[in-house]
Amino acid sequence: MDFPDRLHAYTTRAETALDALLPSATTRPARIHEAMRYSLQAGGKRLRPVLALATAELTGQPCVDPLPAAVALECIHTYSLIHDDLPCMDNDDFRRGRPTCHKAFDEATALLAGDALLTHAFRLLATQYAANPTLSHALTLELSNAASSEQLIGGQMEDLLAEKKSDATPDQLEFIHLNKTAAMIRASLVMGGLCAGLDAPALDTLRVLGRELGLTFQIIDDILDATADSATLGKTAGKDAKADKTTFVKLHGLDGARRHAREHTDAALAALAQLPGDTAFLRQLVETMLVRKS
């Protein structure tokens, strides 16, 4: 399969699993499960599940089913978007071209749906890997660190704090990018690697890859916010400049930001070259991230 077909195949597998591994929309109380499904099934790139699935298949050997781990990653990502969109945070009415969860339902339901997706991620790792408690534990350790107050949530908090002052530093921006974005991308790769039974050096290489890919991803996000229109992005564009937010573009200019993104992409490709197995798909995915338009 060529790259687009394989990307499509991973995305489809992830979306089928999302549907299968969430409580049905009629499970009592129906409203919370409808809201969880509304946001989880809103589309998007499914980058984190795709990274987990592709990494799990790197060696071409049979591995433990990575789909529950992939779904757990998307549950965490989606909960963070639901809560970020709330009025007390970014106050966004649209996400991926559809009303955000609190607009489609209400604030209280969106709050609880976010809580429920966060909880469901850990529940999935516990229920779906019950036959292999050691793997279940390793996956839970990885995900709970990445999603914690020192990483994902810490990055979000620092982002809020940075918004309140105009003199955010490059150090602060790096903290935000590493934790708000790179941590979960790194966890996606490592959790895929854990399902494949990769050894410690390979897992360490995946961590380096995750960091570099995550930084690329976030710099491109900043560039797109500054240059693309809302229809292409599927979310409100130009928000950063409007909020006078410190971004990579504001600190380094568009050209500087593009140069940094290229450097991190090169570092990601160098890490990839050290991994076992067939890395062609991940290599193309990394290159695609650098030139993405949405």
Residues that bind a copy of itself (CB under 8 A): 23, 27-29, 31-33, 36, 79, 83, 86, 88-89, 106-109, 111-112, 114-116, 118-120, 122-123, 125-127, 129-130, 133-134, 136-138, 140-141, 144-145, 147-150, 153-154, 156-158, 160-161, 175
Q: Between residues 137 and 242, which has the closer beta carbon with respect to a copy of itself?
A: 137
The DSSP code sequence of 185-241 is HHHHHHHHHHHHT--HHHHHHHHHHHHHHHHHHHHHHHHHHHHS-HHHHTS--SHHH
The least CB distance from residue 78 to a copy of itself, in Å, is: 13
The least CB distance from residue 281 to a copy of itself, in Å, is: 30
| Rounded distance between C-alpha atoms, residue 139 and residue 65, angstroms | 13
Write the single-letter amino acid at 143. Answer: L
Q: Between residues 36 and 64, which has the closer beta carbon with respect to a copy of itself?
A: 36
Residue 223: CB atoms within 10 A of its CB come to 19
Which residues, 6 or more positions from 215, have their beta carbon under 8 angstroms from its beta carbon? 177, 178, 181, 182, 260, 264
CA 36 to chain centre: 17
Q: Can you tell me whether residue 8 is helix, strand or coil?
A: helix
Bridge partners of 98, per DSSP, are: 95
Read off the DSSP letter of residue 98: E
Q: Between residues 114 and 192, which has the closer beta carbon with respect to a copy of itself?
A: 114
| Rounded distance between C-alpha atoms, residue 73 and residue 77, angstroms | 6
CA 195 to chain centre: 18
Q: Between residues 146 and 282, which has the closer beta carbon with respect to a copy of itself?
A: 146
Q: Between residues 109 and 216, which has the closer beta carbon with respect to a copy of itself?
A: 109
